[in-house]
Chain A
Amino acid sequence: MSEEKRGFFARLRDGLSKTRANIVHGIDSVFSGFSSIDEAFYEELEEVLIMGDLGVGATEEILDRLRRQVKEQGIRKPEDCRQLLTDSIKEQMHVGETAYDFEQEQSVVFVIGVNGVGKTTSVGKLAGMLKAQGRRVLIAAADTFRAAAGEQLSEWANRAGVDVIGGREGSDPSSVIFDAVNAAKARHIDVLLCDTAGRLHNKKNLMEELKKMNRILDREFPGAHRENLVVLDGTTGQNALVQAREFAKVTDLTGIILTKMDGTAKGGIAVAVQSELGIPVKYIGVGERMEDLQKFDADQFVNALFDRKEEEEGGRIEEP
C-alpha cells in the first residue's frame, strides 16, 4: 500500500509540477523581471494567469484585488506581490469545513457533467474510496445512453467491490435512479452514487432528463444528505464556466470534481468557477487508477501552483 501511495503522490506531484513549471516559470519571470509595480507588470501578470486558463473575468478580479492591496499596504517590490497573490487565490479556493460530511452520513451523490470528462471513472474511484472507509456503497448506473457505459461502470464496481443497479441500454435513466433508491433503502446503504450519461449543457432535452432524475431523488429519498457534484475536465477552457452555470440550474451543485489534473493543463478554470459561482472543488482526479482521486486541498493546490518550496512536500497530502 505504501508503494502505491508513493506512486500516487509522485504522480500528483508530477502532474502539478508540470502545472507549476508553466505557471511558476511565468510568475517568476514576472516577479523578477520587473523592478517596479507598474501597468506593464500587471499586464504581464494578466497574461500569465490567462495562460493558466483562469479566464478573463477571474483574472481581472484577482488583479483588482491585488492592486487594491498593493495600494493599501504600500507595497513597492514585485516580489512582495507573490505572497499576496497566492494568499488571495488560496482564500478564494478554500473548501468549507462541512464539505465532506456526506461521506459520514446516509447520502446520495449525484454525479453530472458533459461527455468525456470522466464521470464514470470518478464514480468508480469514489466508490472505492468510500468502500475503503467501511461505508456501504451502491452505484446507480444511470448512463443508459452511451454504448457499453454499463459495462465500464461494472468493471469499476468490481474493482471497488460494490453493487451496481443498472438498466438496459436505451431505457429511461430515471427508472434506474428510482430502482436504485429503493434498493439503497432496502439494503440500508450508506452512500448511493449516481452515475449519469454525459450531456452537453446546451441540449435542452437532455438537461430536462437530468432534472427529472433530480426530482426523483428529491422525492424518493428526502432524508438523505444530497451531494451534487459536477465533473469538469481540467483541460477545458472557458466553457467549463458555462457548463457549471448550466448544470447548477438543474440541481443545487455542492461541489466540483476536477479531473485529468495529471496532464499539462493548469486547471485554472477551477479558480474561475469558484470565483464566479462559489462552487468549491472537492476532489481532483490525477490518473486512471482506483487511488487516483484526491480530496481537494486549497492550500496545497495553490501552493503547488505558485510556490516552488512546496515541491518537495507533495507527499504531505493526506490520504483520504
Chain B
Amino acid sequence: MAFESLTDKLQNVFKNLRSKGRLTQDDVRAALKEVRMALLEADVNFRVVKQFVKSVEERAIGQDVMNGLNPGQMVIKIVNEEMTALMGSETTEIALQPGKALTVILLCGLQGAGKTTAAAKLAGKFQQKGKKVLLAACDVYRPAAIEQLQRNGEKQGTEVFSMGTGHKPVNIARAAVEHAGKNGCNILILDTAGRLHIDEEMMAELSEIKENVTVHQTLLVVDAMTGQDAVNVAREFDEKVGVDGVILSKMDGDTRGGAALSIKAVTGKPILYVSVGEKLSDLEQFYPDRMASRILGMGDVLTLIDKVSANLDIDADREKEMAAKMKKGKFDFDDYLESMKQMRNMGGLSGILGMFPGRAVPGMGDLESMVDEKQLARTEAIVLSMTPQERRNPKLLNPSRKHRIARGAGVDISTVNRFIKQFEQSQKMMKQLPGMLGSKGGRKGKFRFPF
C-alpha cells in the first residue's frame, strides 16, 4: 500500500515534541506539511488543499494542546473539525415530492461512472421504502446499455421503460413521465448516457430533457477514484445542467476518495449516496464526517460500528447474551457460527476490514489476504461437523471425535486441532477484554481518533 497512515506520519513528526503545551508555528507547519501530502495523495484538488491547509494553520497556531493529547493529535483534531465543517456534518436526504406525487430523478455523469448500476440500486432503495419506481432507459448510444438496465431492473423487480435506440432521449423522457403518471408511480429515474462535460452537444441534450420534462432532482454520478479533474467535471455539469446532489460510486475500492471533498468544496452540492459494491443492494447513505476521516486515512471505524449495531439491533437480546458470554469467556461454537453469519450479513470479512483505518494497524493488509473467505468456509464446515453437544461444550472433544469431525469437514486432522486451539485461545482473550462489546453509540466519540 502506497499510503502510510497520516496518523503514523504525524506521530513521527511529533515524536520529539511530546512535552510542549502549546502549538507553535513550526509545529503546525511541520504537521500541516504531512496533512497536505495526505490530502494530495487522496486526490483532493490542489486548490482546495491549499485553502484548507491555510485555514487550519490560522486556527491551529497558538492553540493550547488539550490534556491527554499530544501535539500531533491536537492538529488532527483541528484538521478533522475543519474538514467536517467543510464536508458538512449532516447527512442529506434526497428531496422527494410530498405525498404520492411523482418525483423525477435524472442521473448524469461521465462514461463508466456507474450511472446504470446506480439507477438500479436507487430503485431498490426506494422500493424498500414502499415507493413505486419506474426506470427509464435514455441511453441510446452505448451498445447494450438498455439491456443492462433491463436486466438490472428485472433483478430488482422494477419496471423499465424503454423505447429502443431509435428515439431522442428527450422524447423517451417525456413518454416515461407520461407512463409513470398513468401507472401511479411515485418515482421515475432517468438513466442517461455517459458524456464528457466538455461535449457541448451532449450537455445540451441534458438541458433539453430538463427543459421539456419537470426534473425534480438531478444527480451527478462520480467515480470516487477520480483525480484532480473531479472539480472540472462537477463544475461543468453543475453550470451547464444544474446538479442537486451527487452519488459517489466505487467507494468499495481502496481509494481515499478525495474527489468527494473537492466536489463539495467547489460546488457546495451534497453527496447523497455512496455505492459500495457489485450487488444491487450496495448503496449507502453518505456520512460526511466519516468521509473526512477516510480521506485523511483514519479509516471508517464509525461506519463499522454502525453496521455492527444495525445488525445486532435485529436481535438486541442476543447481542447482550453474546456480550455476556464473551466477557465470561463462555463463547461456544454455536456463538461462533452465529457471529460468522452476522459477519456475512455485514458484507463479509473483507467488507469489514476495508472499513478499518487500514494502515493505522501495521499488517492489516496482510491480515486480509491471510484470512481469506474460503478459509472461513472451511472453518465453518468444521463447526458444522460437530454434534450440537460438542458445539455447546468444546471440552467434549477427544481425539476420536476430532477425527470424525475432520472426516466430516473434509479437512486434515491437524486443521481441526489448530482451529480448536485457536478457538480456546480466543476464548481466553475474550475474558481479558471486558467491555469491548455491548456498548454502542456512547463510544463513538472515542473512535474518532483511533490512536
| A156 CB-CB contact with B under 8 Å | yes
| B254 CB-CB contact with A under 8 Å | yes
Contact A156 B223 (CB under 8 A): no
- Kindly identify, within residues 196 to 223 of chain A, every residue whose CB is under 8 Å from any CB belonging to chain B: 200-205
How many residues of A are counted as interface, with CB atoms below 8 angstroms from the partner's CB atoms?
50
- Kindly identify, within residues 142 to 156 of chain A, every residue whose CB is under 8 Å from any CB belonging to chain B: 145-152, 154-156
| Given A235-B110, A288-B141, A201-B228 contact (CB < 8 Å) | no
Q: Which of chain A's residues have a CB closer than 8 A to the CB of B249?
A: 116
Contact A236 B143 (CB under 8 A): no
Q: Which of chain B's residues have a CB closer than 8 A to the CB of A237?
A: 43, 225-228, 230, 255, 258-259
Nearest residue, chain B, Cβ from A151: B144
Q: How far is the CA of A114 from the CA of B259 in the complex (A)?
A: 18
| B252 CB-CB contact with A under 8 Å | yes
Q: Which of chain B's residues have a CB closer than 8 A to the CB of A205?
A: 373
Nearest residue, chain A, Cβ from B232: A264
How distant is A117 from chain B, measured CB to nearest CB, in Å? 6
| A263 CB-CB contact with B under 8 Å | yes
Q: Which of A31-39, A128-136, A182-190, A238-246 contacts B (4 or more CB under 8 A)?
A: A238-246
Contact A263 B196 (CB under 8 A): yes
Q: Which of chain B's residues have a CB closer than 8 A to the CB of A57?
A: 2
**Among A149, A202, A204, contact of B253 (Cβ-Cβ < 8 Å):** A202
Contact B198 A18 (CB under 8 A): yes
Contact B228 A263 (CB under 8 A): no
How distant is B107 from chain A, measured CB to nearest CB, in Å? 14
Q: How far is the CA of A180 from the CA of B37 in the complex (A)?
A: 47
Interface size class of B (residues with CB under 8 A): 35 or more
**Among A50, A51, A116, contact of B114 (Cβ-Cβ < 8 Å):** A116
A-B contact count (CB 8 A): 155
Q: Which of chain B's residues have a CB closer than 8 A to the CB of A150?
A: 144
Contact B373 A204 (CB under 8 A): yes
- Kindly identify, within residues 115 to 145 of chain A, every residue whose CB is under 8 Å from any CB belonging to chain B: 115-118, 145
| A257 CB-CB contact with B under 8 Å | no
How distant is B214 from chain A, measured CB to nearest CB, in Å? 29
Q: Which of B146-154, B298-306, B443-451 contacts A (4 or more CB under 8 A)?
A: B146-154
| Given A51-B46, A56-B41, A239-B198 contact (CB < 8 Å) | no
| A111 CB-CB contact with B under 8 Å | no
Q: Is the interface of B mostly helix, strand, loop or mixed?
A: loop
Q: How far is the CA of A181 from the CA of B94 in the complex (A)?
A: 49
Nearest residue, chain B, Cβ from A246: B254
Nearest residue, chain A, Cβ from B50: A47
Q: How far is the CA of A203 from the CA of B369 in the complex (A)?
A: 10
Q: How far is the CA of A304 from the CA of B256 in the complex (A)?
A: 30
- Kindly identify, within residues 219 to 237 of chain B, every residue whose CB is under 8 Å from any CB belonging to chain A: 223, 225-230, 232-233
| A269 CB-CB contact with B under 8 Å | yes
Nearest residue, chain A, Cβ from B350: A204
| B42 CB-CB contact with A under 8 Å | yes
Q: Which of chain A's residues have a CB closer than 8 A to the CB of B258?
A: 237
Q: How far is the CA of A154 from the CA of B113 in the complex (A)?
A: 22
How distant is A16 from chain B, measured CB to nearest CB, in Å? 12
Q: Which of chain B's residues have a CB closer than 8 A to the CB of A149?
A: 144, 148
Contact B41 A202 (CB under 8 A): no
25 examples of A-B residue contacts, CB within 8 angstroms: A47-B46, A50-B228, A53-B228, A116-B114, A118-B111, A148-B145, A151-B144, A154-B144, A169-B151, A200-B252, A201-B254, A202-B252, A202-B253, A202-B350, A203-B350, A235-B226, A235-B227, A235-B230, A237-B259, A238-B42, A239-B225, A239-B254, A242-B255, A264-B229, A265-B229
Residues of B within 8 A of A (CB): 1-2, 37, 40-43, 45-46, 110-114, 141-145, 147-148, 150-152, 155, 196-198, 223, 225-230, 232-233, 249-250, 252-256, 258-259, 278, 350, 354, 368-369, 372-373
Q: Which are the 8 A-B pairs with shortest beta-carbon distances?
A: A237-B227, A116-B112, A155-B143, A237-B43, A147-B151, A151-B144, A148-B147, A152-B144
Residues of A within 8 A of B (CB): 18, 47, 50-53, 55-57, 114-118, 145-152, 154-156, 169, 200-205, 233, 235-242, 245, 260, 262-266, 269, 288
